[in-house]
Amino acid sequence: MTRRRQIYEGKAKILYEGPEPGTLIQYFKDDATAFNAQKKGTIQGKGVINNRISEYVFTRLNHIGVPNHFIRRLNMREQLVRQVEIIPIEVVVRNVAAGSISKRLGIPEGEMLPHTLIEYCYKDDALGDPLIAEEHIACFGWASNEEMQDISAMAIRVNDFMAGMFAAINIRLVDFKLEFGRIWDGDYSRVILADEISPDGCRLWDMTSGEKLDKDRFRRDLGGEEEAYQEVARRLGLLQDDGSPSEVLDLSQHRKLRGK
């Protein structure tokens, strides 16, 4: 038996070589980090839920024509994705002031922004993912102007779609982070949505109570992070009432339990 090759290990995910060229297996861990990995912990069951939520969102985005790397879910913690050349930019979309923009500009958390705001950060853990302007992206050649037009257009479409999707389950989409990558076809490349969309990289507030249903529960020591992630999945119809994922079998867990 050959062991599959690990391509990359990040804070919340591991990427393995996929079964065919141009594919990867994305494995979702329960590990959680915050403040540039200064705070570390685990959120029990997070990987299973994020795998499921991300599958759901990426599948639906595909249906409305937002190209993305998702191919199919393989088991409870893994999904098959297209291999992309990651663009080293975090795209943050904001509808309501919270987190770093509130700190940076002194805007009270919870204040509605006059219009949706897109911010860019340079993806570099050692530098703490600093905020950058589009001029930096052009100057250092991280993405072309054409790619940036596609990225901002896709980010707005994702926001419109997700804001509606979450509003329908009484959740306010405050902000979120996206990552994009290039796929090549001969000499030509195009940009598609990559990474994941889950409560790890979104701020989700209950519309009635204002309760936080995302990773801020972990970042801010609020407790109840497992329940919050489960609640999002449950409202999306991805969990049974007893909290177990619907229609999924965790093959690796199953094999472990059977000692294989």
Binding stretches for ligand 5GP (CB under 6 A): 90, 92, 99-101, 129, 175-177, 200-203, 215
Cβ pair 27, 18 in contact under 8 A: no
Cβ pair 55, 245 in contact under 8 A: no
Nearer to ligand 5GP, 36 or 253 (CB): 36
Cβ pair 178, 93 in contact under 8 A: yes
* Residue 102, SS3 per DSSP: helix
DSSP secondary structure code for residue 188 in this structure = E
Q: How far is the CB of 14 from ligand 5GP (least distance, A)?
A: 15
Nearer to ligand 5GP, 78 or 90 (CB): 90
Cβ pair 64, 157 in contact under 8 A: yes
Q: How far is the CB of 90 from ligand 5GP (least distance, A)?
A: 5
Q: How far is the CB of 201 from ligand 5GP (least distance, A)?
A: 4
Q: How far is the CB of 107 from ligand 5GP (least distance, A)?
A: 11
* Structure-token match 């959740």, residue found: 171
Closest alpha carbon to 203 in 131, 102, 114: 102
The residue number with the shortest CB distance to ligand 5GP is: 99
Cβ pair 172, 166 in contact under 8 A: yes
Nearer to ligand 5GP, 204 or 238 (CB): 204
From CA 127, how far away is CA 114, in angstroms rounded? 30
Q: What is the DSSP string of 133-174?
A: -HHHHHHTTSS-HHHHHHHHHHHHHHHHHHHHHHHTTTEEEE
Q: How far is the CB of 1 from ligand 5GP (least distance, A)?
A: 34
Q: How far is the CB of 259 from ligand 5GP (least distance, A)?
A: 35
Nearer to ligand 5GP, 146 or 221 (CB): 221
Nearer to ligand 5GP, 167 or 251 (CB): 167
Q: How far is the CB of 3 from ligand 5GP (least distance, A)?
A: 28
Nearer to ligand 5GP, 23 or 34 (CB): 34
CB atoms within 10 A of CB 26: 26
Nearer to ligand 5GP, 4 or 104 (CB): 104
